[in-house]
A and B are shown apart, each in its own frame.
Chain A
Amino acid sequence: MNDNGFLIAAYLIVWLGLLGYLGWVTLRMRGVQADLQAVRELVEQRDQPNASTPHHE
Chain B
Amino acid sequence: MQIASSRPAQPGTATPTPLPPWLMPVRRYGEYVLGAAAALSILATIWAAFVYAPTDALQGNVQRIEYFHVPMAWVAYLAFFVVFVASILYLWRKNARWDVLARASAEVGTVFTTLVLITGSLWGRTVWGTWWQWDARMTTTLILWFIYVGYLLLRSYTGLSEGGARAAAVLGIIGFIDVPINYLSVTWWRTLHPSYQVPLGSEAQAPASVVLALMLGLLAFTLLYAFLTVQVYRLNKIQRAAQVLRVRAEME
Which A residues contact B (CB, under 8 angstroms)? 3-4, 6-7, 9-11, 13-14, 17-18, 21-22, 25, 28-29, 32-33, 35-36, 39-40, 42-43, 46-47, 50-51, 53-55
Contact = CB atoms under 8 A, between A and B. Distances in A.
**Secondary structure of the A side of the interface?**
helix
Given A32-B235, A47-B14, A50-B13, A14 B1 contact: no
Interface residues of B, number: 42
Contacts, number: 97
A46 B249 contact: yes
Contacts of A11: 65, 68
**Secondary structure of the B side of the interface?**
helix
Contacts of B13: 47, 50-51
A48 B24 CA distance: 24
Contacts of A36: 1, 3, 238, 241-242, 245
A54 B17 CA distance: 21
B137 to A, nearest CB: 18
B38 to A, nearest CB: 10
Given A29-B234, A33-B238, A17 B115 contact: yes
